[in-house]
Amino acid sequence: MADSSFNPFKMAQQQFDAIAEQLNLDQATRDFLRNPDREFQFNIPVRMDDGSYKVFRGFRVQHSDARGPSKGGIRFHPQETIDTVRALAMWMTWKTAVVDIPLGGGKGGVICDPHNLSMREQEGIARGWARQIARNVGPVQDVPAPDVMTTGQHMVWMLDEYERITGTKAPGMITGKPVGLGGSLGRTEATGYGVMYTVREACKKLNIDIAKTTAAFQGFGNVSQYAVDLYTKLGGKAIAVSCWDHEDKKSYTYRKMSGLTFEELIKVTNKFGEIDKAKAQEMGFEILPGDAWIEQAVDILVPAAIENQITKDSVMKIAPTVKIVAEGANGPTTPEADEVLKSRGILNIPDFLANAGGVTCSYFEQVQCNMNYFWTKEEVLDKLDQKMTAAFHAVYNLAQERKIYMRDAAYLISISRVAEACKLRGWV
């Protein structure tokens, strides 16, 4: 579970401040980029199935649109906070900049738990969110997408509401839609595959044969599922995945030393990315405590669940065999844990580089929608591979050249790109 005293926005600002110092940014640029451009908080009244009304709290934060329309997902989560949304919006700004796509950073959310809501109630929340923000989003203004516990169905409801309000057809106003309603082929795999494209390149740089490696994954939502899928296709052996169990209100690690596959795991996984414990046991998985994923004697660790998971305490449990940490989740590693990874010489592929496959494919979806011309899955994944590979090499080469940590190199590249755009526009 997330630590209640942990503030992701403070962490995002701390990371930014350190790089602003290195880049010697002027005070105005620092003040401008360490806080969001604008943020919206609003009420979403919904008529529930029992006839009563309930008011949900919604958010949208636009951190920066200096390089293009804001871009970022919408989370439905019972513990959603404005600070989480602010941090994620800021990270999205750096993420779109590091892979060099012409978008900025935004994020949205609603405090709710889809586990306890019917589809009709969820539709009410989705349409209510779109109604509240319709004037401030759009294909060339701010482009939302799915995130934790939201799906293509929620995106279509939001799109439909937006189109009703504006009287237009604007499929490019939101991404992550189902194929056939403006969704892009390859989008489902994009984030997890993107993580593995960077791991593949990291292995090459470290002279490691990826087919001889083992890995442990935290989480089994969309990102982790497709990371496991491509990793095993590249010949690697995935031995453990952890995931949250909604019934027991805690997480477990599922381990199979002979290696587990995407196909067998997906058979025992529900739509929330939660593995059925009883079925997993029947299939011969060992069931270990939730945090056991981090202790596995593997070559590669892939935290792909939520923020604040590799901390100053948990980082000490990482086995000496680990050579690469690829951050599929947003903000999984705290600055204190980073210092330990640095001192141990573990190659860290930072979140906003490793998991940028999702936003890159969202960008491809927006482009396809806006020109009303769609590509094949092979074209999408090929373009994604090229973007992720080029971004990884730019960051890795700068890290080597300056003898700095990968996260710092990625921040130097992205923050300097955004700061330059703000200066060219005459904002600072």
Hey, which residues are catalytic here? Answer: 107
Q: How many whole angstroms separate alpha carbon 348 and alpha carbon 183?
A: 32
Pairing type for strands 214-218 and 237-245 reads parallel
Backbone angles phi, psi at 281, to 5 degrees: -65, -45
Which residue reads 């992550």 in tokens? Answer: 176
Three-class SS string for the chain?
CCCCCCCHHHHHHHHHHHHHHHHCCCHHHHHHHCCCCEEEEEEEEEECCCCCEEEEEEEEEEEECCCCCEEEEEEECCCCCHHHHHHHHHHHHHHHHHCCCCCCEEEEEECCCHHHCCHHHHHHHHHHHHHHHHHHCECCCEEEEECCCCCHHHHHHHHHHHHHHHCCCCHHHCCCCCCCCCCCCCHHHHHHHHHHHHHHHHHHHCCCCHHHCEEEEECCCHHHHHHHHHHHHCCCEEEEEEEEECCCCEEEEEEEEEEECHHHHHHCECCCCCECHHHHHHCCCEEEEHHHHHHCCCCEEEECCCCCCECCCHHHHCCCCCCEEECCCCCCECHHHHHHHHHHCCEEECHHHHCCHHHHHHHHHHHHHHHCCCCCHHHHHHHHHHHHHHHHHHHHHHHHHHCCCHHHHHHHHHHHHHHHHHHHHCCC
Among residues 195, 192, 254, 263, the alpha carbon closest in space to that of 223 is found at 192
Residues linked to residue 260 through DSSP beta bridges, in sequence order: 238
Q: How many whole angstroms separate alpha carbon 220 and alpha carbon 242?
A: 7
In terms of phi and psi (left: phi > 0; alpha: psi -120 to 50; beta: otherwise), the region of 180 is left
CB 121 within 8 A of CB 37: no
Backbone angles phi, psi at 6, to 5 degrees: -80, 130
